[in-house]
């Protein structure tokens, strides 16, 4: 899609991994989207909970020499398509049991089909992360484990993470945390900038 100036608009995909459509993680993701749109980006969001996404079965079909992706026929097809079109991808998750939610983990596992011996399909995409938790800070809550998961995963495929925002909902909802929302807005702008 092109903007009024004829320049291709940056496309941002947000994968919202909280089961709560109006909760803290959703609010943080919304603010990233607002920042991105303020910079002229087009934003597409998937509320993962609403989609039929199966677990990776480790069949390894996607790793075969002439494979054309994952053979499971479900809503992940829409996410694969949106991810391929996106210039930037945001993974947003609440912290559950000291790491990412099951919804986000399900999607990450299915992105195995994007990583083959020929290379990976995240090349050139900017990655953003957003987390909320009930604990006091990133260490106490286990958010550090979620951060580390993404850092290790994207370091493994040599795709740098562009930025991250995270904060506690333990002492009040994220929607009232102006400083955190400002950081999320700024991350949205940053993700959109080089589009
Ligand atoms: C199943 C479950 C597990 C949770 N585990 C943690 C945890 O390990 N650490 C933490 O700080 N908060 C934990 N929480 C609190 C949530 O991370 C926190 O309330 C978060 O902001 C919820 O996001 P939401 O409003 O998008 O649903 C847990 C909540 C649930 C429902």
Domain definitions of the chain by residue range? 11-58+68-193
CA 97, chain centre distance (Å): 19
Residue whose CA is closest, atom 30 of ligand 1?
96
Distance 96 CA to ligand 1 centre (A): 5
Phi, psi for 70 (deg, rounded to 5): -80, 140
| 109 Ramachandran zone, left/alpha/beta (phi>0; psi -120 to 50) | alpha
CB–CB of 165/180 below 8 Å? yes
Strand spans (E) along 22-112: 42-47, 88-94
Which two tokens mark 144? 């550090």
In this structure, which topology does domain 11-58+68-193 adopt according to CATH?
Rossmann fold (3.40.50)
- Among protein residues, the one whose CA lies closest to atom 22 of ligand 1: 94
Distance 167 CA to ligand 1 centre (A): 11
Residue whose CA is at the smallest distance from ligand 1 atom 31: 96
Rounded to the nearest whole angstrom, what is the distance from the C-alpha of residue 183 to the centroid of ligand 1? 20
Query: pLDDT (tens digit, 0 to 9) for every residue of the chain, 195 residues total?
Result: 556 666 788 999 999 999 999 999 999 999 999 999 999 999 999 999 999 999 999 999 999 998 999 999 999 999 999 999 999 999 999 999 999 999 999 999 999 999 998 889 999 999 999 999 999 999 999 999 999 999 999 999 999 999 999 999 999 999 999 999 999 999 999 999 854
Q: What is the pLDDT of residue 195?
A: 44
Residue 161 phi, psi (nearest 5): -85, 130
Distance from residue 100's CA to the centre of ligand 1 (Å): 9
């Amino acid at each position: 899609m092109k903007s009024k100036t004829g320049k291709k608009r940056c496309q941002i995909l947000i994968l919202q991994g909280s089961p709560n459509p109006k909760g803290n993680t959703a609010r943080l993701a919304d603010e990233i989207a607002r920042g991105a749109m303020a910079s002229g980006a087009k934003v597409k969001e998937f509320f993962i909970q609403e989609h039929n996404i199966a677990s990776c079965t480790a069949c390894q079909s996607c790793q075969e020499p002439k494979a054309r992706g994952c053979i499971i026929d479900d809503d992940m097809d829409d996410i694969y398509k949106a991810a391929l079109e996106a210039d930037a991808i945001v993974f947003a998750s609440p912290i559950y049991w000291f790491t990412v939610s099951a919804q986000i983990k399900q999607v990450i596992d299915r992105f195995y089909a994007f990583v083959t011996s020929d290379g990976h399909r995240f090349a050139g995409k900017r990655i953003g992360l957003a987390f909320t938790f009930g604990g006091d800070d990133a260490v106490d809550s286990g958010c550090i484990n979620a951060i580390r998961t993404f850092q290790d995963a994207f370091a493994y495929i040599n795709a740098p993470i562009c930025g991250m925002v995270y904060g506690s909902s333990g002492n009040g909802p994220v929607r009232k945390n102006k400083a955190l929302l400002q950081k999320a807005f700024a991350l949205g702008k940053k993700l959109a900038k080089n589009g």
